[in-house]
Amino acid sequence: MAPSACRTRSCPTWAASRRSIRGDARRLPLRDGSDSIGLRRNRLYERTVLPNGLRVLSSTMPHVRSVATGIFVGAGSRYEDDDIAGASHFLEHMLFKGTAKRPEPQMISRAIESVGGILNASTDREATLYYTKVARDHFDIALDVLTDMYNSPLFVPDEVERERGVILEELAMTYDHPDSLADLLIDRALWPDQPMGRDVGGTRESVGGITKEQLAAYHARQYVPSNTVVAVAGNVEHEEVVERVAALLGYDRTQETLPMRPVLPDEDSGVRVEIGNRKTDQAHICLAVDGPAANADDRYAVDMMNTVLGEGMSSRLFVELRERRGLAYDVHSSAMHYHDCGALLVSCGVDTANADKAVQAVLREQYGMQVGVTEEELSRATEYAVGRLGLRLEDTRAVMGWMGGQELLRNEVRTPEEVVASIRTITTEEVTDAARRYFGPGAYRLSVVGPYRSQARFEKLLAA
């Protein structure tokens, strides 16, 4: 049986996910020819654009024994009309259900698992990713399987109906998990009545109505070379990667793709609260404000602000809510950056009797960020961010995601060295300015899942 699919809350460069991933475990001007980018000395990455517009990126890591390969496609919930909401995620499922070369789903999974490899996929608002990680000797097999899935899905009617049922159960599972429901509700509060704010998986109604013909048409529209990036990281040379990819995906096929839907302006300047009434022992809380887009000038100032506020056990939120007050086992903040928007979130789970106290405590810490941060705090946050980035990029899959996600969605690939340099230029004044800019009165959105019905009690907290 093919492993279950994934909808993610993630941002380029393939970052944190909201949902568990399948089974284990978001454009540069196109031109013919090729170019190499980055420092040749450390072989950060090289880039080739095939004549059909397909972009191929690789990072040679000679010290590892594995190769991670990803196919990134400009397909996600932000490309979908309401009547086919969830089509990108549905299509991701179907690519595992049989191809012309491998008509049985098990033939796809076994081809990778029989050599000890990983095969997985995820769908986000702005992109869909299919990837493998295998030993170096099996790179050809991995690339063949991925490109076969990309090129030739079958859309067998019985498999479409069977997978529809699987997806409907996945949607139901999400609503049964309070923390997942809190995530969905905060998205709705941040971006109401538009693709950014709806579940990547769609709704029961939209998924129930998507036809085989619509899936095939969506695949033909979006899964074209000019809308695709192949990224490979591991013990493999760029020339070999390009040769193999060109042989499998070098065909001439052009198609006008569906555009990404822009974020609609929020006409409501007041606070907004979404309640998920559930009989739970914990209140699951998400408090959010709008944040900067991926390419915004203040992106890294906001990232450092977020690290001081709520990343790690030394953060202000962890120290205050857990260590000093004992309100929460887990409390953390996150910064999400998309193509033309972003969000800053704080998530925690607390006793249902302490929901008000927790929200008030988070608001106080965010107010404290507006007062200022110390040089010592910023120094710790900087080294935390730099260190975590370095650790993450020791893995071939992370390097693959770093390259492919940025290339597809950000029109550039910033090197780790460039990002570190940007982080190290951030000052305490910039962090404080960012806090004052984003944590303003009336800017808050809140989702709460627990035994509550009234929004008014929480609206009063946010408006105070």
Task: Tell me how far apart the alpha carbons of residues 378 and 358 are, in angstroms, rounded to a whole number.
Answer: 25
Structure confidence by residue, pLDDT tens digits, 240-255? 999 999 999 999 888 8
**Tokens of residue 1, six digits:** 């049986």
Structure confidence by residue, pLDDT tens digits, 389-417? 999 999 999 999 999 999 999 878 999 99
Domain boundaries, the chain: 34-249, 272-463
Contact of 68 with 393, CB cutoff 8 Å:
no
Long-range contacts of 315-320 (CB under 8 A, 24+ apart): 316/365, 316/368, 316/369, 317/346, 317/348, 317/362, 317/365, 320/361, 320/364, 320/365
What was the pLDDT predicted at 440? 82
pLDDT band at 44 (very low <50, low <70, confident <90, very high): confident
Q: In Å, how far from its chain's centre is CA 325?
A: 32
What was the pLDDT predicted at 32? 31
Task: Tell me how far apart the alpha carbons of residues 346 and 153 are, in angstroms, rounded to a whole number.
Answer: 40
What was the pLDDT predicted at 7? 54
**Tokens of residue 155, six digits:** 């859309």
Return the amino acid letter for 372: G
Q: Which of 168-172, 234-238, 239-243, 268-272 has the lowest mean pLDDT?
A: 268-272
Topology annotation, domain 34-249: Cytochrome Bc1 Complex; Chain A, domain 1 (3.30.830)
Residue (of 50, 51, 70, 72) closest to 59 by Cα position: 70
Report whether pLDDT(23) > 50: no
Active site residue 92: yes
What was the pLDDT predicted at 6? 54
What was the pLDDT predicted at 149? 99
Which listed residue (46, 92, 163, 377) is catalytic?
Answer: 92
Structure confidence by residue, pLDDT tens digits, 338-373? 999 999 999 999 999 999 999 999 999 999 999 999
pLDDT band at 40 (very low <50, low <70, confident <90, very high): very low
Contact of 283 with 350, CB cutoff 8 Å:
yes
What was the pLDDT predicted at 19? 31
Any idea of the CA torsion for 238, 242, 244, 245, to the nearest 10 degrees? 130
Neighbouring-strand partners of residue 228: 73
Q: Is 34-249's fold the same as 272-463's? A: yes
Residue (of 19, 142, 157, 28) closest to 89 by Cα position: 19
The CATH homologous superfamily for domain 272-463 is Metalloenzyme, LuxS/M16 peptidase-like (3.30.830.10)
